[in-house]
Amino acid sequence: MPDTLFALDGKTAVIVGGGSGIGEAVAAGAAAQGARVFVLDANEPAAGAVASRIGGGARAQRLDICDAPAVRVCFEAAVAETGRLDIVVCTPGINVRKPILDYAGDEFDRVVALNLKGSFNVLQAAGRIMVARRAGSIVIFSSIRSRVVEPGQSVYAMTKAGIVQLVRTAAAEFGPAGVRVNAVAPGVVETPLTAPIKANPEWYNAYRAKSALQRWARAEEMVGPTLFLASDAASYVTGTVLFADGGWTAADGRFTPPL
């Protein structure tokens, strides 16, 4: 097995949502593997701090993925500077936890706009560039909620399931041009998005006990699955969902029967 199988030397990687959480960890991981990294985030100071920390000529820029023209401009700028666009990773997501009967229209629109339309904007802009170049890897973040749900997760789960079908369709459409498209589906990860859960010990511990590994994930533990899909190690992997969930979806977890 060649030593370069997971290497990203000479490649341009755009990490959307790279200012915090999983995106920040992936940006640092891609830089460590030799990629030229562009850190894009709605929080420009946070993106700048990450780019400064990881070094290697990393660039930072503000990006609202709900703004399709802005997404295109950012990706085209990366190509103009480096001459290529090899990897795009999209991590942003929001959640409004409410019963379906209590959900407000503007809350629905906000979650769908970022999670689903934003992911579509990223996928479309990256796909146009990569299909023309006939090379590239796109990784979009889904969730265990694309497969299993709980009360209060209706719209979030809907968008994360939608991302799976979006990824599969893109894989089918972009595949003839040599462009791969995959999704990562994390379980519970300690990030700013899940901070309210961590602040509630009963809730936090219930989630901890649900996974087969009996713990939450660290953001850094999403780097390996993501960069595997982005790298040549996954050169024949497309249209798939990699569940990095500590066994959450493998085991029922509600009750351990006597054996």
CB-based contact 40:16 (threshold 8 Å): yes
The mean pLDDT value for 131-148 works out to: 98
103 a catalytic residue: no
Residues paired with residue 61 on neighbouring β-strands, in sequence order: 40
Exactly one of 156, 204, 207, 236 is catalytic; name it.
156
The mean pLDDT value for 174-183 works out to: 98
Task: Output the CATH code of domain 12-244.
Answer: 3.40.50.720
Element (H, E) at 37: strand 36-41
Residue 259 has pLDDT above 80, yes or no: no
User: pLDDT of 182-235, one tens digit each?
Assistant: 999 999 999 887 888 889 999 999 999 999 999 999 999 999 999 999 999 999
The candidate with the shortest Cα–Cα distance to 29, out of 40, 20, 37, 17, is: 37
